[in-house]
Structure 1
Amino acid sequence: MAAGAFMLSWVVLMWLLEAIDGPAGPIVREYGIQPRDLDEVLDIFPAAFLHFGWDHVMANTVPLLIFGFLAAVRGLARFIGVVLVIIVVSGLGVWLTAPDGSNTAGASGVVFGLFGYLLVRGFVERDALDITVGITVLLLYGSILWGVLPTAAGVSWQGHLFGLIGGVLAAFWLRRTPQRRAVRGAPGGIGPSPWS
């Protein structure tokens, strides 16, 4: 399945980058997000794939695989749009609000963004299956919401919070139109939503 292959490739890329760079190596030091420096603003994109050590990349791997697969199974083109919205909102949020002298990197902003996207997508699109997915994700992983609070030193709660916001925004900005939902109910489709 394309969604599974895409997410596995993403995770392999993160692990390869960590293997090349090592913990807090020169790549993550160069391409992490350093706040309010105009020369660094485009680093919001590579920073989402870089990590500060194996524990960091391992902590993001499983939720990224699960949330990414659940979001990407609806279509890779739309999923890529969702991820870009999350990276931009999360990255700019970190760039604007992180403490001076900090360096932020990691996929956790994307993880929180995909979590937020899955939570609200079904309600935005009035799709019973996606609502069920969102509720299931909330029941199984809802405790990660504590990560948007400034409770742990050295953890970018800003990236988590703005990632979550980016995921919710993406659910609204990139929602399927009523015409696209109707196509799903056409012969050979996967069936109409009862709330379409």
Structure 2
Amino acid sequence: MSSSGEEKAIAQEIKTQLWILGGLVVVMWAVEILDQFVFRAGLRQTLDIYGIYPRNVVGLRGILFAPFLHGNFAHLIGNTVPFLVLGWLIMLRETSDFFWVSLVSAFVSGLGTWMFGSSAIHIGASGVVFGYLGYLLARGYFERSMTSIAMSLFVGTLYGSLLWGVLPTQMGISWEGHLFGFLGGVLAARLLTPKRKVSGV
């Protein structure tokens, strides 16, 4: 492929990544706007009831819906920036990695919260965000390449302080979602790491 062709391919890939990340963020914001200005203001209800309610069969639906639901705009803004930054860092190597990491993180975070979370409705994309963090930090350990190790160090420097969020240090914060999301990201890193060949002696 010529250099011009490579540049076009890279530009198209970046455009695709922006559409994916931007599209998901638009959905999260649209849901919250709808929730705040239609359901809460007019119908006196809230979409947050579709979040994860631990150990309740109906609450299992929250595994699918919770990442798109937020308590308020401050909550949503707090998740939007790391979602975009960490999500794009995952996409840098393979766009498909983003989908796998997102699915594994959301499922492990959601199921873990449903099984062990406190008796409250758990909502927010932070479980997925912590999954992205866990994946990017663990990838360096599992892959042992200079690029992945450098990325892990970079992410650790940038967002390492978030790790306090996996501990029950603040009331009203779903630390269970954070913890299991992080573990889901580590699991995704393990699953997506190619098995290294062992040479014979």
Determine the C-alpha separation between the residues in 2 that align with 1:92 and 1:19: 27
Match among 39, 47, 55 for residue 28 of structure 1: 47
Q: Name 1:164's counterpart in structure 2.
A: 182
Residues 11/90 of structure 1: CA separation in 2 closer, same or farther (3 Å cut): same
Quote how far apart the aligned CAs of 1:38 are: 1.4
Contact kept? 1:121, 1:171, Cα under 8 Å: yes
Determine the C-alpha separation between the residues in 2 that align with 1:6 and 1:127: 27
Q: Name 1:84's counterpart in structure 2.
A: 103
Relative to the length of structure 1, the TM-score reads 0.85
**Computing the radius of gyration over CA atoms, which structure comes out larger, 1 or 2?**
2
Quote how far apart the aligned CAs of 1:178 are: 5.1
Match among 51, 75, 81 for residue 70 of structure 2: 51
Q: What are the within-5 Å matches in structure 2 for residues 105-116 of structure 1? A: 105-116=123-134
Quote how far apart the aligned CAs of 1:131 are: 1.2
Deviations along 1:58-110, whole A, 9 cap, x unmatched? 0001111000000122222232111111011100111011222x001100001
Comparing both structures, which one devotes a greater share of its residues to helix? 2
Gaps of 5+ in 2: 1-13
Quote how far apart the aligned CAs of 1:50 are: 1.0
Percent of aligned pairs with the same amino acid: 44
Moved more, 154-163 or 125-134: 125-134
Contact kept? 2:51, 2:61, Cα under 8 Å: no
Quote how far apart the aligned CAs of 1:177 are: 4.6
Deviations along 1:162-190, whole A, 9 cap, x unmatched? 011000001001223559xxxxxxxxxxx
Q: Name 1:122's counterpart in structure 2.
A: 140
Determine the C-alpha separation between the residues in 1 that align with 2:190 and 2:136: 12
Q: Name 1:151's counterpart in structure 2.
A: 169
Q: Name 1:7's counterpart in structure 2.
A: 21
Tell me the amino acid that sits aligned with residue 3 of structure 1.
Answer: Q
Partner of 1:176, secondary structure, is coil
Contact kept? 2:48, 2:69, Cα under 8 Å: no
Tell me the amino acid that sits aligned with residue 56 of structure 2.
Answer: D
Quote how far apart the aligned CAs of 1:27 are: 5.0
Task: Say yes or no: does 1:175 pair with 2:189.
Answer: no
Gaps of 5+ in 1: 180-196
Moved more, 26-35 or 166-175: 26-35
